[in-house]
Structure 1
Amino acid sequence: MNNLFQQAEEFIWCNARLLERRLFDFYFKSGSAQAVLAALCAYQNEDGGFGNALEPDIRCPESQPVPTQHALEILDVVGFDAAVGQRICDFLMTITTEEGGVPYVLPSVNHYPRAPWWHTDDNPPASLNPTAIICGLLHKNKAQHPWLERATAYCWEKIPGILPTDQHEMGCVLAFLRYAPQRTPAEREMARLTQHLLSSGLVAEAGTAGYVRKVLDWAPWPDDPLRAHFSEQEIQAHLAEVVAGQQADGGWPITWPPVSPGCEMEWRGWTTVGALRVLRANGYFSQ
């Protein structure tokens, strides 16, 4: 496993963006959270949202909901910055629809190179993806903002009774339910949707090709609540698949068509850091 780590480290220093290099340094080399925050905030716009290809498949500089979600995911790991979080919520207020949530993507995406699934009409509706996960992360980090109250109400209007067939929507909803302050309905819906997740085909088996979510995408950490639903044999099979997925250059691949070769390398820096985190958390090395 030391050779696996060394090859991955070489790949990251040679190819990854500054943000992923800082994240690698933070996770594995005692790098500072402040260095990660400085790299992350380079993607933040004056309106408080995040753009500038933080999500590599969205090349537009303007702020977008999903890149803003990704910024919150990073802040959640390295340490939530209240000032950055406040600016994010201020931005979200400006793009919230009458329904109370934010759209999946904003029309500004249409004017720049992008993956084909990043396209929208002029007036996109609110969507649980990413409204729900944004709410969940803000609740987890004890944020206080009028936007959060309104968006939480939107999530509770939409979630009861739904049966998501899209892996992203399901992930967003589960993240909301994990951290929503209304614990009784959250636990009820979590139990219902967990059963749907396990029976709906949204958890792909080891060896499945293409753009799917597998066991370790749903339950990457040993203490993840969803781990109880998977056998040790399943976990080990998926971990072995992660190990086998390392490429000759030391990095891990993506499973969808990239916008460009440069975009692909940006994504591979992200996926390589993620693969190393999962392998270490599951005992494959102790770096």
Structure 2
Amino acid sequence: MIQKLTHENFQKARSYLMTYGRDLEQELFRFHFENGDPVKVISILKQYQGENGGFKNMGEGHSAIPNSMDTSMAFQYLSEVAATTKEDVVQKGIKYIIDTYDSERECWHARPDQQSSGWSDNPCAELAGFLYEFRELVPQYFIKDVTDTAQASMSTIHTSKEERQFYFLEALSLLRLAIRIDEPFKSIILAQLNKDILEIIETDSSKWTTTYCAKPFFFANSPESPLFLPIKEYVIRSLENEINSQAEDGHFILNWNADEEGAILWKSIWTMDVLKALKNHELIDFQ
């Protein structure tokens, strides 16, 4: 029998977020579980947007300077609440993505203090995906150029046991591109990910709690994920692991070391991410 998060422990997670979580995760919780208003989520995201349209202090890039990593995270949330091209925050964000593309090196640089030598799927593939999602705001020639570069990068896609902990972030970015891009590129990416998925995810359950790794549900946070069926057993088991390892105060534990400030931020992000996945897979007892 598949295990579910009990109503009591769901309430613990809610209490943790409402006490210690960021304003963003608190509003996302209301959106997903309490019929919250997506406009409020969008309004909070505006507070993380710089004057140039990029986002900062989302957890991945830089706390004070807008950057590509935080911008990609912000657009995950904008997509989640079905923001449209009519939103000012989306328009400014897409303009930032276009303006910061390095046409000479054919890439976006992940962080302000890191100059990439060329295309890296994390975050480039993901950012390209958001250009497709909000393509009304993007010149056609620009989408074509970026797509050509992304397609060329597929020839170098690879996985290995030794590099799995680094590669899975690239693979996640490719997945986020695949669900947004047109055919035939969509099928090309998904075919490659399906071929490699058991090498990408960590299948050893003993590592899910103690080692920074690709937990299976990352690649199928709902049954509708195009990668769900091949790894269904691992996805459910990894979510059961989250349930069993939930902290007493209600948060879902991190499997990597973070400094005190980073831990506070990521516990908020992570707890909300796990709750969304549990909800999508109907693994929460709301009674």
The normalised TM-score by structure 1 is 0.85
Q: Which residue pairs with 2:186 in the alignment?
A: 186
Q: Structure 2 residue aligned with 1:79, among 70, 77, 82? A: 82
Please tell me whether the aligned partners of residues 106 and 124 of structure 1 are also in contact (alpha carbons under 8 angstroms): no
Deviation at 1:220, TM superposition (A): 1.6
Deviation at 1:68, TM superposition (A): 0.1
- Whose RCO is larger (CA < 8 A, sep 6+)? 2
Q: Which residue pairs with 1:65 in the alignment?
A: 68
Q: Which residue pairs with 2:236 in the alignment?
A: 236
Cα distance in structure 2, aligned partners of 1:282 and 1:92? 33
Q: Which residue pairs with 1:94 in the alignment?
A: 99
Cα distance in structure 2, aligned partners of 1:235 and 1:128? 23
Equivalence map 1:190-269=2 (5 Å): 190-198=190-198, 200-208=199-207, 209-232=210-233, 234-258=234-258, 260-269=259-268
The letter of the residue matching 2:149 is Y
The letter of the residue matching 1:257 is N
The letter of the residue matching 1:230 is I
Q: Which residue pairs with 1:116 in the alignment?
A: none
The two structures, once aligned, show a CA RMSD in angstroms of: 2.1
* 3-state SS of paired residue (2:221): coil
**Is 1:276 paired with 2:256?**
no
Please tell me whether the aligned partners of residues 204 and 212 of structure 1 are also in contact (alpha carbons under 8 angstroms): no
Please tell me whether the aligned partners of residues 121 and 170 of structure 2 are also in contact (alpha carbons under 8 angstroms): yes
Q: Which residue pairs with 1:28 in the alignment?
A: 33
Deviation at 1:66, TM superposition (A): 0.7
Unaligned runs of 5+ in 2: 1-5
Q: Which residue pairs with 1:113 in the alignment?
A: none
Unaligned runs of 5+ in 1: 108-119
Q: Which residue pairs with 1:105 in the alignment?
A: 111
Deviation at 1:261, TM superposition (A): 1.6
* 3-state SS of paired residue (1:159): helix
Equivalence map 1:4-15=2 (5 Å): 4-15=9-20
Percent identity between matched residues is 21
Q: Which residue pairs with 1:159 in the alignment?
A: 154
Please tell me whether the aligned partners of residues 222 and 281 of structure 1 are also in contact (alpha carbons under 8 angstroms): yes
Deviation at 1:78, TM superposition (A): 0.6
Deviation at 1:242, TM superposition (A): 1.2
Please tell me whether the aligned partners of residues 61 and 68 of structure 2 are also in contact (alpha carbons under 8 angstroms): no
Q: Which residue pairs with 1:111 in the alignment?
A: none
Cα distance in structure 1, aligned partners of 2:248 and 2:271? 13
- Distance 1:225-1:169 versus aligned 2 partners, 3 A rule: same
**Is 1:285 paired with 2:280?**
no
Q: Which residue pairs with 1:137 in the alignment?
A: 130
Deviation at 1:213, TM superposition (A): 0.9
The letter of the residue matching 1:242 is E
Cα distance in structure 2, aligned partners of 1:193 and 1:272? 26
Which aligned segments of 4 or more residues in structure 1 are displaced greater than 4 angstroms?
A: none
Deviation at 1:141, TM superposition (A): 4.4
- Distance 1:58-1:236 versus aligned 2 partners, 3 A rule: closer
Q: Which residue pairs with 1:112 in the alignment?
A: none
Cα distance in structure 1, aligned partners of 2:14 and 2:71? 27
Cα distance in structure 1, aligned partners of 2:50 and 2:31? 24
* 3-state SS of paired residue (1:13): helix
Deviation at 1:58, TM superposition (A): 3.9
